[in-house]
Chain A
Amino acid sequence: MSVLSIKGLHKNFGAAKIIQGIDLEIEEGEFHAIIGPNGAGKSTLFNLISGQFAPSSGAVTLHGSRISGLRPYQINRMGLSRSFQVSNIFANMSVFENLRCALMWSRNVGYCFWRFASRCGDIDARTDSLLEEIGLTARKTDMAGNLSYAEQRALEVGMTIAGGASVLLFDEPTAGMNHHEVETFAAFLRKIAKGRTVMMVEHDMNVVFSLADRISVLVYGQIIATGKPEDIRANPAVKEAYLGADA
């Protein structure tokens, strides 16, 4: 059974039809990449799945229950977490606080105001191990806004996985990185994706083809092909619509 299933999804902004009928099944443990030219609706698709917008029609279900139309925090509590294309962190807080806030809900801390944050179960220890995992232990007490670009991207991903969600959406995780940073980061993403279901929008084809189990090609709000990387590479329609323009 698929973990995340999208059926007949449409989204209009006024007269503009951004998403025009998407059907997609994401399998358990799969690493699924979404590619497509600029303006194809990739970010809108993520916003629809994660609850930023409600769809005009169609449905998204997570583990068999409908999530389209729910608020982002409700969807997050059901085990779906996303990262953002532009780093979306708490700039005036330390790296440690950023991560700790990100894992509070999953540790049942709630809106607790009667205990020091550091005394709420093992959240400090978990934050430390998460820091280790994303390689930011050395920057623990620095303001998140003062991190380098690549470090902010790492923190962004760290905050996305902190809550222990089983389904992750990564929106252009390597955007704006240099070649060397991209390579390190792709390895990092592969490590993180183990045991989780991942959907990723990405422009860097090397990253896409090295990480993805399956790829969907989104053009003008519709999916024109879905398949294994080698099938997508060979698909004439994709070549024409998308890869052809690059080659």
Chain B
Amino acid sequence: MKRFVIFLACAAALAAALLLPSLGAGRFVIVMLTQLAIMATFAMSYNVNLGQTGLLSFGHAVYLGAGVFASLYLITAIGEGTVPLPLEFVPLGGALAGFILAAIFGLVSVRRAGVTFAMISLGLAELFVAAAMLFPSVFGGEQGVSTDRMVDYSLTGMGYGRPQEIYMLVLVWAVFSVAAMVFLSRTPLGRLANAVRDNPQRVEYLGYTPYWIRFAQFCIAGTFAGVAGSLFALTYEIANAEVLGLRTSANVLIATYLGGITYVLGPVVGALVVTLLEINLARLTEAWLFYYGLLFIAIILFAPRGLTGILMDTPDAVRRAGWGGLAKALLRWVPVVFLIAAGSVILVELCYHLSNSFDPREPLKLFWTEVNAQSWTPWTVGAVMSISGLAWLAVNRRNAAPRRAQKGGTS
């Protein structure tokens, strides 16, 4: 039943993604969907490391970047006619670049998992970024490297100039990559990767070397990150060395984790949520990165299996508690969450207005009213709301604790 629902949801999402442009969706939607497809590919490749193999990497952007720059040069070369490759196959070049870099860095970094691996991945990524800064002749310095995807040589004869056209190309590659990664997770290598994640010692007693399993997975992740990089290059046609940096790596880590690393398609959910947040929240408030970070921390603390985990657990929880139980739980938690969230949003927005806007004396648009950030009233309202919310939370938790203890602590 659950499987069927998931299958239906995937099919519906795919159909929507395919049909939206022909149904006359606006440029804005197309641009957003393109970004989503790239992010989904990138996040999926990240989860080959994190969720499937237990390798927490802080440098995944480097492999994306390898794909980006390789593709930028490749597209230019195709345009000049020096490389006889149809534009549609540019992602193969990105994949190759990602694979080669991952194979080199993987050899020295996958000996250990856990914290050591995380630190090495960070060190290698910083090394690569710092080195990239030294070579403006390759990475283009501040203004970056740019290209023009309007080349004459394509398989379908299409020009790929318009957003709809490039969207279709990106979508095809993204769907192919996601499907390929789902497939790989079900091969013997994918299963062994899960085993290495859970217990590398035991794997060694089953005749396998954890090192090669990690290495293979790391290369797969790098390859598909390279594909995502190609799609990035095809879409935006420009990039500088910043794309390699810690911020990009952090974004993909957060997106993947938000989606849920224990589910095969969790990263796609994460990419969806993050892209929507990025585009829509950024229009509403300048402090969106802060809210984004708060959401990430909240997920780590209270829902380690991510948004997909919440989605999957809800039906079971409702079945167990019944509708009455659900109503009771909602009544109990919704006001608390609302108070804390609204209160802190007020405070954050006020803070931001005071320190970062051109003129702090100007009234600040907050929800549906306008307030003066320099008077005490809005600050008091925000503070009272958050503090009472936190107090309520503490009371709720204290009430919940003894009952949990009675159940025998099996939570």
Q: Are A163's CB and B206's CB within 8 A? A: yes
The residues of A that contact B189 with a CB separation of less than 8 Å are 111-113
Q: Is the CB of B187 within 8 A of A112?
A: yes
A-B contact pairs, 9 of them (CB 8 A): A73-B205, A76-B207, A89-B198, A89-B202, A97-B195, A101-B191, A101-B203, A113-B187, A116-B186
The answer for the CA separation of A93 and B193 in the assembled complex, in Å, is: 11
* Besides A88-B201, A111-B192, 9 other A-B contacts (C-beta < 8 A): A50-B205, A71-B204, A73-B205, A76-B207, A91-B199, A97-B195, A104-B206, A109-B188, A159-B202
- A149 touches B (CB below 8 Å): no
User: Interface readout for A142-175 with B: 1 if CB under 8 Å, 0 if not?
Assistant: 0000000000000000010011000000000000
Which B residues lie within 8 Å of A72 (CB)? 204-205
A117 touches B194 (CB 8 A): no
Q: Does B208 contact A (CB under 8 A)?
A: yes
Q: Which of B149-157, B209-217, B279-287 contacts A (4 or more CB under 8 A)?
A: B209-217
Please list the residues of chain A having a beta carbon within 8 angstroms of any beta carbon in chain B.
50, 71-73, 76-77, 81-82, 84, 88-93, 97-98, 100-102, 104-106, 109-118, 120, 159, 162-163
**B202-243 CB contact bits vs A (8 Å, 1 = yes)?**
111111110011001000100000000000000000000000
Instruction: Determine the distance from Cα of A77 to Cα of B205 in the docked complex, in whole angstroms.
Output: 9
Quick one: closest A residue to B209, CB to CB?
A73
A76, A90, A111, A112: the one within 8 Å of B205 (CB): A76
- How far does the Cβ of B263 sit from chain A's closest Cβ, in whole Å? 12
List, in ascending order, chain B residues with CB within 8 A of A81's CB: 205
In the complex, whether B106 has a CB less than 8 A from a CB of chain A is no
**Smallest CB separation, A61 vs chain B (Å):** 19
A77–B207 Cα distance when bound, in Å, is 5
In the complex formed, the residue of A with least CB distance to B205 is: A72
Q: A106 — which chain B residues lie within 8 A by C-beta? A: 207
CA distance A93 to B208 in the complex (A): 17
State the B residues within 8 Å of A (CB): 183-184, 186-192, 194-195, 197-199, 201-209, 212-213, 216, 220, 262
Choose from B207, B216, B262 the contact partner of A73 (Cβ within 8 Å): B207
Cα separation A90 to B189 with both chains bound (whole Å):
15
Inter-subunit contact B198/A102 (CB<8 Å): no
- Across the interface, name the chain B residue whose C-beta is closest to A92: B198
CA–CA, A78 to B188, complex, Å?
21
What is the chain A residue whose CB lies nearest that of B197? A92
In the assembled complex, how far is the CB of residue B233 from the closest CB belonging to chain A, in whole angstroms? Answer: 27
Chain B's interface: helix, strand, loop or mixed, by majority? helix
Q: Are B216 and A111 in contact (CB under 8 A)?
A: yes
Q: Which of B189, B203, B262 counts the most chain A CB atoms within 10 A?
A: B189
How distant is the Cα of A77 from the Cα of B208 in the complex, in angstroms? 9
Are A82 and B190 in contact, with the CB atoms below 8 A?
no
Cα(A81)–Cα(B207), bound, Å: 9
Interchain CB contact under 8 A, A105 and B207: yes
Question: Quick check: A82 and B191 within 8 Å, CB to CB?
Answer: no
* A-B pairs with lowest CB-CB distance, top 10: A105-B207, A113-B189, A90-B198, A76-B207, A72-B204, A112-B188, A113-B187, A101-B195, A109-B188, A88-B202
A102 contacts across to B, CB distance below 8 A: 206
**Complex alpha-carbon distance, A93 and B203, angstroms:** 13
Nearest CB of chain A from residue B221's CB, rounded to whole Å: 13
Asked if A163 contacts B198 (CB within 8 A), the reply is no
Q: Are B206 and A101 in contact (CB under 8 A)?
A: yes
Smallest distance from the beta carbon of B272 to chain A beta carbons, Å?
A: 25
Out of B183, B204, B212, name the residue touching A111 (CB < 8 Å). Answer: B212
Residues of A within 8 A of B184 (CB): 113
Task: Give bound CA distance, A24 to B201, whole Å.
Answer: 27
Q: Smallest Cβ distance from B171 to chain A, in angstroms?
A: 25
CA distance A244 to B220 in the complex (A): 60
B186 closest partner in A (C-beta): A116
Query: Given known contacts A91-B198, A93-B198, is B191 in contact with A117 (CB within 8 Å)?
Result: yes
B188: chain A residues within 8 A (beta carbon) = 104, 109-113, 115, 117, 120
Beyond A72-B204, A111-B213, whether A104 also contacts B198 by CB under 8 A is no
Which residue of chain B lies nearest to A101 when distances are taken between CB atoms in the complex?
B195
Please state if A104 and B187 are interface contacts (CB–CB under 8 Å): no
> Which of A73, A105, A117 is the one whose CB lies under 8 Å from B186?
A117
Which chain B positions have C-beta within 8 A of A105? 206-208
Closest to A88 in B: B202
A102's closest neighbor in chain B, by CB?
A: B206
The answer to whether B192 touches A101 (Cβ under 8 A) is: yes
Q: Are B195 and A73 in contact (CB under 8 A)?
A: no
Chain A residues within an 8 Å CB radius of B203: 101
- Contact of B191 (CB < 8 Å), options: A50, A73, A84, A97: A97
The distance from the CB of B308 to the nearest CB of chain A, in whole angstroms, is 15
Q: Which chain B residue lies CB-closest to A97?
A: B191
Cross-chain contact A90 with B199 (CB below 8 angstroms): yes
Q: Please tell me if the beta carbons of A90 and B187 are within 8 angstroms of each other in the complex.
A: no
